[in-house]
Amino acid sequence: MSVLDAFSLKGKKAFVTGGAKGIGRSAAIAFAEAGADVAIVDTDLDSAKDTVRELDRMSVRSLAVRADVTDPADVDRMMAEILGAFGTVDIAFNNAGICINEKAEEMSFKSWKKVIDVNLTGVFLTARAAGRVMIAKRSGSIINTASMSGHIVNVPQPQCAYNASKAGVIMLTKSLAVEWAPYGVRVNSISPGYIGTKMTLSATQWIPTWESLTPVKRMGLPEELVAALVYLAGSGAGFTTGSDIVIDGAFTCV
């Protein structure tokens, strides 16, 4: 297998949750550039359609799907819509996520549940939906967005629910990888550090601290994650499953 073949996604069918903006959008573009047809799944259908218009300039098929990843019935409908358009799913990037910064002692149950529902339950539901398709055909790659916050406790912002949810994603990834290995389904995760997306860039009061604590002294770019995602999605990662790739500017090293 050549290096180019290892990273080729030509003919593959993918979906990206949270694909309208930020990391998800960059991933969708990268998958399409590597040759995959891509479904953009998001609660913001208008922004998802904007991303689809960008993909339409490439020689791939794409569609926008509105879905609530916390709702099992809506995830099933999402999968049916994707299968109706593409016929199958080879790559699932379960990326949708939120963060609520509230002190633990003041955090409402509603806020806690919202973060866990989107970041952990949502990943389980979309991974399960993809897994059912992939198990039946005995092949596929599932990639989940975890976080360095699943490995360390961030400061100075309070975010216990986010940290717990991302630690859960890492262990969920490992559990699914072991369960589904006999079926040829690989399951991996990426753990980004501070990446310059709309969510993180809005926290202007914390950015100087984040950058000072990161050994490379800056935030990452969404585009700096996509090579790892294309690798995990492609045939070159055939022996890679149950792994969590930390991409954090060495933040978790110190």
Q: In this model, does residue 157 exceed pLDDT 80? A: yes
Residue 229 has which token pair? 């995602």
The predicted model gives 124-130 an average pLDDT of 98
198 pLDDT tier (thresholds 50, 70, 90): confident
Q: Looking at 8, 62, 141, 147, which residue is catalytic?
A: 147
Residue 224 has which token pair? 């700096």
Q: Looking at 12, 13, 21, 166, which residue is catalytic?
A: 166
Token pair 């989940």 in the structure block, residue: 144
Q: Any catalytic annotation for residue 166?
A: yes
| Per-residue model confidence as pLDDT tens digits over 88-116 | 999 999 999 999 999 999 999 999 999 99
User: What distances in angstroms separate CA 143 from CA 173, 182, 226, 246, 248, one per listed residue?
Assistant: 8, 18, 12, 13, 17
Q: Which pLDDT score, from 0 to 100, does residue 3 have?
A: 83
* Percent of the chain's residues with pLDDT above 90: 95
Q: Any catalytic annotation for residue 47?
A: no
Q: In this model, does residue 1 exceed pLDDT 80? A: no
| Per-residue model confidence as pLDDT tens digits over 33-50 | 999 999 999 999 999 999
Of residues 249, 240, 237, the one with CA closest to residue 200 = 249
Q: Which pLDDT score, from 0 to 100, does residue 153 have?
A: 98
Q: Looking at 13, 21, 62, 162, which residue is catalytic?
A: 162
Q: Any catalytic annotation for residue 10?
A: no
Handedness of CA 185, 189, 195, 201 (dihedral sign): positive
- Report the distance separating Cα 94 and Cα 90, nearest Å: 13
6 pLDDT tier (thresholds 50, 70, 90): confident
| Per-residue model confidence as pLDDT tens digits over 128-148 | 999 999 999 999 999 999 999
The predicted model gives 187-198 an average pLDDT of 96
- Domains in the chain (CATH in brackets) are 3-246 (3.40.50.720)
pTM recorded for the entire structure: 0.97
2 pLDDT tier (thresholds 50, 70, 90): confident
Q: Which pLDDT score, from 0 to 100, does residue 134 have?
A: 98
